Amino acid sequence: MSFIDDILGYSSISIVGMAKNAGKTECMNYILKQLQGKGRQLAVTSIGLDGESQDLVSYTAKPEIEIYEGMIFVTSEKHYKAKRLIAEVLEVNGIQTSLGRLITARAITSGKVLLSGPADTESLKEIIREMKKFRVDTVIVDGAISRTSIASPVVTDAMVLATGAVVSRNIPELVRKTAFMYELIKLNAVDENIYKKLSKVDSGVWAIDEKGKVKNLRIPSILMLDKYKDKIFKYGNTLYVAGIITDSFLQFLRVQEQIENIVLIVKDFTRIFVSMESYYAYLRKGGTIKVLLKNKLLAVCINPASPDGFVLNSDALKEVLQEKLQVPVYDVRRMPENLN
């Protein structure tokens, strides 16, 4: 079974690039092509702007989004008018973007479209929920540059990761960086009892004491840690940070005498904004990191070419990356045209 078949088992998936020009849009186009005719109702949208014919950072040509007959898509008024296909409007959404209201439409013919969806994850979640009334089986979300937040299991059920030569021209370094991202994605989740206690907490820093009770440390954010250092371990060594975690916070935890007993819990991997060095230094000292919600990585798509024309050996990259991650790795440019 290929990752294309796996996708059909989820109600929503995100396609996330590790960097601009990592091959995310090409990966999405391949997925959509393979999913047509599978007998499932698909919907496609984006967070922010994607599908532009020219990369707005490097000014290189980039793939547009190809929509097939019968697929539903959500985009802004401006880009709906610029579509190169025939479609019927299903709904004009009240969510406003800088490019106008969001239009939900069904493609009557196949063609290309610019996707510009909601700019925030809350609006994106609303769009995904709304797709139920159109009997959508799977919503596919194309991420914008550096927006791994759409891969949060709060937003989508599973994800596909795109990486490639733009991340590094050196295969070992590219593998190292991609493996770090995967390490964060596959962090162990807390048990169901702790999840129930913390799932409704959306801000601040909290602790779980030895009796399993959740305690509010009254710390608004770890960014204000200097002011509250004396309170952080008031109720024990298990901490929940509802917001992001940073290098400075891990470095603070790493030097504590009780580091081997410290368990740090975050909502999901998209809240971890730390360097590889700080992350692994914290783990080597004996610290633990867990998540409330764990995502499912279905596959990794690789783009061996960088925007400036440098090309890695696709077979070598695929082999090393797949061995390291133990997940399916694909160069979609070299995949069969039709898996149906």
CA pair distance 230, 256, nearest whole angstrom: 12
| Stretch(es) of the chain classified as CATH 3.40.50 | 3-186+295-334
The Cβ-side half-sphere exposure at 241, using a 13 Å CA radius, reads 27
Percent of the chain with pLDDT over 70: 93
Closest CA to 145 of 52, 269, 66: 52
Closest CA to 293 of 185, 169, 204: 185
DSSP state of 145: T
Q: pLDDT tens, 205-259?
A: 999 999 999 999 999 999 898 899 999 999 999 999 999 999 999 999 999 999 9
pLDDT tens for the chain, 340 residues long, are 588 999 999 999 999 999 888 989 899 999 999 999 899 999 999 987 654 444 444 444 445 799 999 999 999 999 999 999 999 999 998 888 888 999 999 999 999 998 888 888 899 999 999 999 999 999 999 986 555 778 889 899 999 999 999 999 999 999 999 999 999 999 999 999 999 999 999 999 999 999 999 999 999 999 898 899 999 999 999 999 999 999 999 999 999 999 999 999 999 999 999 999 999 999 999 999 999 999 999 999 999 999 889 999 999 999 999 999 999 999 998 876 655 4
| Highest CATH level, class, for 192-291 | alpha beta
Give the pLDDT of residue 147: 55
Location of structure tokens 């309170």: 231
Q: Is the distance from CB of 271 to CB of 292 less than 8 angstroms? A: no
CA pair distance 301, 295, nearest whole angstrom: 17
The set of residues, in sequence order, having a beta carbon less than 8 Å from that of 122 and lying 6+ positions away, is none
CA pair distance 330, 24, nearest whole angstrom: 12
Pairing of strands 115-116, 49-50: antiparallel
- From first CA to last CA, the distance across the chain in angstroms is 11
| Stretch(es) of the chain classified as CATH 3.40.140 | 192-291
Q: Is the distance from CB of 114 to CB of 82 less than 8 angstroms? A: yes
For residue 174, count other CB atoms closer than 10 A to its CB: 23
Q: Which CATH number fits domain 3-186+295-334: 3.30.360, 1.10.287, 1.20.140, 3.40.50?
A: 3.40.50
Q: pLDDT tens, 128-143?
A: 999 999 999 999 999 8
